[in-house]
Structure formats: structure tokens, C-alpha cells
Amino acid sequence: MSAMALSSSILQCPPHSDISFRFFAHTRTPSPIFFGRTRKLSYIHCSTSSSSTANYQNTITSQGEGDKVLDCVIVGAGISGLCIAQALSTKHIQSNLNFIVTEAKHRVGGNITTMESDGYIWEEGPNSFQPSDPVLTMAVDSGLKDDLVLGDPNAPRFVLWNGKLRPVPSKPTDLPFFDLMSFPGKIRAGLGALGLRPPPPPPSYEESVEEFVRRNLGDEVFERLIEPFCSGVYAGDPAKLSMKAAFGKVWTLEQKGGSIIAGTLKTIQERKNNPPPPRDPRLPKPKGQTVGSFRKGLIMLPTAIAARLGSKVKLSWTLSNIDKSLNGEYNLTYQTPDGPVSVRTKAVVMTVPSYIASSLLRPLSDVAADSLSKFYYPPVAAVSLSYPKEAIRPECLIDGELKGFGQLHPRSQGVETLGTIYSSSLFPGRAPPGRTLILSYIGGATNLGILQKSEDELAETVDKDLRKILINPNAKGSRVLGVRVWPKAIPQFLVGHFDVLDAAKAGLANAGLKGLFLGGNYVSGVALGRCIEGAYDSASEVVDFLSQYKDK
């Protein structure tokens, strides 16, 4: 793999790709509950069908569990919590566990927010996912195989540089011709990936993304590829994000081989020597590096899972207290529409955001609570605008159409918007004929000022930026479909992230809280796909714990 192919693959499909607000996704997407504010428009939530939504909502009760002791309570019905429950019901069906999923909100899905109105379908949280096998397995087990939609793997991705949208190389044959980087910059990246880089050697301390990329691949790769990717996907500051935590797979390559290329070759050889088990024949086979969603948007997945779980999902249940009994069981007290409810369980999985988990767990462990309070969530706004197709600048069209995944904007290029997804080009049925649907994100760790702006001001800022790059300056005004502000959006995987997470887990263990697990995007990774992969891991942890519990 060449250096530029590698940096391009980082940009397109990183280890935590399809994250919560992923511009070229999708995904790396948070699943726990976030709190946002939105314009008061006539929106309706999408679902698999009105009957399936009613099915699980009508079976939910808020009656106490009596003297029955549950095997597990999953706190939070975002994508992480629901997928843990789905994994317990499918992959671990032989364990026959008795569990429930509780949610403080009146709906499932957490920050997945699909909207539909007047022929438009748009996302106001995560936009898509990388179709890895765990994600596809979850979709197939939820009955959504026929509703999967995948983007064109050949669609270009763009980065704004010096006033022009420049395509990112998607395959090795693109490398000699793309103009996003200079020839010396390409040579520096290639030599660095091979390990032929100027001193200093890899430091003993934990590097930031910026430090790692500049040292290995040079300044141009960082400034023109990785910096816009970090701000666009994590809404973060690459000078503070941890390479080890945010891009662990790439970081591991250098650790394994001494250079990125040598580590890649060793990884390929290891896979040849230890091939994975046969792939599930039920799963579709995506072509190339692409992203996915569902026919009626991402909300179809949590809605379908909840419908299958039925009465195991408890909506409008707000957890107010957790106690541990002398016999090792947990007592959870909820406020529900029908009054207080007490639940006894052997295991608990907390998939709510870390700051909510911190508050709930403080009576049990100050150490764990203090650690969980340290994770930082900057604000991000999702702005969905529609323009007539003729509003797109001619130089941005391919064969007369707006084609591609979207565009990212380095902070040095004079626009406030982090990046833009061409929603109506990415998936079918997202906009009426003759209209273009464009989703942009603004804010993040380097722009906290969005919290002082109104929704109208945010929409105006995005429209102004787009008219510098993509939209004809004199085009008719945009139609504002939605402006969703997430004051606490994406947990930042900063330098020291794993140390803080390990301290939280150690605090729980030292307090004797066996069977109480932490889950969600600050644990597994912020991409929707990583949340699903982490859900399978969490389900296995729960099953292993309960098997030991039964042996006692």
C-alpha cells in the first residue's frame, strides 16, 4: 500500500469511520442519548412502518418486575443499547437471558434522528455507516436486508484547497494525477510510510494525531487530508486527539512493523496465516469502499430492533438511583409515567453518555464518576438545506449531475462549515425531483461559538459558505429543512483517553461493582459501525459474567 493510498483510506474508511457526525459516511456515530435543539418545523420521524412502531410501543409497560430478578438491565436505548440487546437475543440466544432495555426518552434511537417531510428524508445526527460485517449482521438479524442502501463506491470525495474542490484519490491509479498535494509532498509521504523519515524516532509518550501524521507522512498529508478529516468526522482538534485512541489500527501498524508500510505487510501476512472464519452467507457483499444507510434512513435500524424486542424495551423510564445489595444484585429505581418502579438485576450495562453515567454512578464510586466526567463532548450543528439542481455550480457537476460523497473544509481555508454531504446524491429517494439535498455540519472543538447563534444564523452561515464553493452565488435562497444543534455531540478521544477509561473501569472494580459494565461510543468508538461492533463485545462480556455468576 502506498503512502497516499494509506492516507486516502484513513480519510475514507478510518478505524472509527461512519462516526457520529461523519461527513463522508458515516457513523464513527454516537449512539447514546444526546440533547439537541431544533427548529420548530413540521417534521415526522421515519420508521420501518407505522404498524411496527406501534407494535413495540403498545407492548411496553411500566409495571414493576415484582420479585423476579433479571439477568441484565441495559440503560439507554440508543444504537449501542439496542444492539447489545439484539446481540443477546441472536448471537447468545442459547443463554436465554431475561433482560430489559430502559430509555428516558419517549423514543428509541438516541441521537439517530431521521426526518421526513414533503418528499425529503434527511438525517440530523449520524448520516450513514461503513457496511462492515457486524453492521450488516445487525441489519440482517433485524429484518432489514432488503432495505439496505449503499453509496456508489466510485463516487468522489472532495477537499477544499485554495478555493477549489479537489478529489481525494480513491485507488492507487489516481495517485499520480490528483492535485490536492504537491509532488514533493507525495514523495515525502511515500518515504515516510516506508520508514524513511527524518528524525526524531517515535516518541515514548502518547502522540496526538497531528504529531503522528506530520512525523510519518509529512505536513501536506496532515494539512490537506487528515486535519480536515479530524475536524469533519470527530469535530475535533487533531493537536489534541490521540492517534492511539482515535486511529488505533493505523497507530498499531507502526508499532508492529516499525513503519506504516512494514506494519501493513505484517498484518496482511498474519491474516493469511490465520484466516477468519467463513463469512455469513446471509450478508450482502458491498463493492469497494462505500457507506450505507436504509431506504427510509438510519432510524429504521433502532425501530426494527425495538419492534423485535417488544416489551423488553421500556420507554420514558428515567433511572434515578442504583444500589448494590449484599447478595451481589443491583437494585435500579426508575421514575416512569405510572410512578416509581424498582428493578432487581444481576448485571447492568450503562450505554448513556459518560457525563450521565458519572452522575448516576457517583454514589457507588467517586473514582469512576470523576473519571467519567473528564470526557469532553463539543457542540455540533447539523444543517440540512435544499437547492434547485440548477443552483449547483457547473464546475462542480459531473456529467451534468452533482455526484460524490461530499466535501471537507480544512480550518485554514476560510470557511466556518466543517464539511458537507451530498445526501441526495449519496442515497436514493432523499429529495423530490429537481431538488438537491445537502447536509452540512458546523461547530466542534474549535468553534464553540455555535451555541451563541440562533438556528437561522447557523443556516445563513452554512448557506454563505456553500455559495463560496458549491452553489452559484446568485442562486435563489435555500430551503431550510432542519437545523439540529447538539450541545454535547461527539466524545473526543483525546490524548490519555484510554487511561481515563481504564481508571473509570478500575474504580468500578475496586468498589466491588462486578457485573456493572460501561458501553457506548466513548468506549467503543464514535462511528455508528464501531458502536455496533462494541455492542457485540459488550454482549459477550455480559454472557461471560453471568456464566460465572451461575457457577457460584
Q: What is the pLDDT of residues 269-284, one digit of tens each?
A: 999 999 999 999 999 9
The residue that leads in pLDDT, 56 or 306, is: 306
How many CB atoms are located within 10 Å of the residue 411 CB? 18
- Tell me what pLDDT residue 550 has: 67
Judge contact between 44 and 117, C-beta under 8 A: yes
* Percent of the chain clearing pLDDT 70 (strictly above): 87
The residue that leads in pLDDT, 97 or 169, is: 97
Question: What does the alpha-carbon distance between residue 49 and residue 106 come to, in Å, rounded to a whole number?
Answer: 17
Mind listing the pLDDT tens digit for each residue in 396-445?
999 999 999 999 999 999 999 999 999 999 999 999 999 999 999 999 99
- Tell me what pLDDT residue 41 has: 36
Mind listing the pLDDT tens digit for each residue in 366-377?
999 999 999 999
The answer on pLDDT for 16 being more than 50 is no
Judge contact between 350 and 523, C-beta under 8 A: no
* Percent of the chain clearing pLDDT 90 (strictly above): 82
Judge contact between 165 and 205, C-beta under 8 A: no
The answer on pLDDT for 56 being more than 70 is no
Question: What does the alpha-carbon distance between residue 23 and residue 440 come to, in Å, rounded to a whole number?
Answer: 8
In which band, very low, low, confident or very high, does the pLDDT at 169 lie, cut at 50, 70 and 90? confident
Which domains, ranges and CATH numbers included, belong to the chain?
Answer: 70-105+296-376+492-548 (3.50.50.60), 176-273 (1.10.3110.10), 380-486 (3.90.660.20)
The answer on pLDDT for 532 being more than 50 is yes
The answer on pLDDT for 13 being more than 50 is no
The answer on pLDDT for 44 being more than 60 is no
Residue by residue, DSSP assigns 42-94 as: --EE--S-HHHHHHHHHH------TTPEEEEEEE--SHHHHHHHHHHHHTTGG
- Tell me what pLDDT residue 321 has: 97
Instruction: Report whether the peptide linkage leading into residue 200 is cis, meaning its omega lies within 30 degrees of zero.
Output: yes
The answer on pLDDT for 65 being more than 60 is no
The answer on pLDDT for 484 being more than 80 is yes
What is the arithmetic mean of pLDDT over 289-309? 97
Question: What does the alpha-carbon distance between residue 194 and residue 196 come to, in Å, rounded to a whole number?
Answer: 6
pTM: 0.89
The answer on pLDDT for 24 being more than 50 is no
* Lowest model confidence (mean pLDDT) among 14-18, 95-99, 152-156, 246-250: 14-18
The answer on pLDDT for 324 being more than 70 is yes
- Tell me what pLDDT residue 52 has: 39
The residue that leads in pLDDT, 34 or 475, is: 475
- Tell me what pLDDT residue 393 has: 97
Grid look-up 441521537 returns: 111
Helix (H, G, I), strand (E, B) or coil at 249: helix
The answer on pLDDT for 22 being more than 70 is no
345 sits in which H/E element? strand 339-350
- Tell me what pLDDT residue 447 has: 96
In which band, very low, low, confident or very high, does the pLDDT at 525 lie, cut at 50, 70 and 90? very high
* Lowest model confidence (mean pLDDT) among 27-41, 158-172, 376-390, 451-465: 27-41
Q: Indicate the average pLDDT of the chain.
A: 89
- Tell me what pLDDT residue 23 has: 35
Beta strands in 422-543 (DSSP E): 435-443, 479-486, 516-518
- Tell me what pLDDT residue 25 has: 34
